[in-house]
Amino acid sequence: MPKLEAIPPAIRRAACAFHEAGHIVVGWHHRRAITHAWLRPPQGVSGETCFEPYRRGFQAHRAGDLRRAEIEVTILSAGQCGEMIYWNGAQGRKWYPGELRSHGDDLDQMQPFIALLQPPDAGLLREHCARAATAILYRPAMRTAQETIARRLDAASRIGADEVEAMMEEAGAQRAPLPEL
Q: How confident is the model at residue 177 (pLDDT cuts 50, 70, 90)?
A: confident
Considering its fold, how many domains does the chain have in total? Answer: 1
Q: Is residue 166 part of a domain?
A: yes
Does some domain include residue 178?
Answer: no
Q: Does residue 86 form part of some domain?
A: yes
Examine the pLDDT at 180 and tell me if it is beyond 70.
Answer: no
What is the tens place of the pLDDT at every residue in 1-25? 777 788 999 999 999 999 999 999 9
Sign of torsion over alpha carbons 71, 117, 135, 176: negative
Residue 45 domain-assigned (yes or no): yes
Q: Is 180 inside a domain boundary?
A: no
Residue 136 falls within a domain, yes or no? yes
pTM of the model: 0.94
Residue 157 covered by a domain:
yes
Report if residue 148 sits inside a domain. yes
Residues of the domain holding 14: 4-171
Nearest to 132, CA basis, from 76, 171, 173, 53: 76
**Which of the two residues, 94 and 27, has the higher pLDDT score?**
27
- Residue 26 sits in a domain whose CATH number is 1.20.58
Q: What is the pLDDT of residue 99?
A: 74
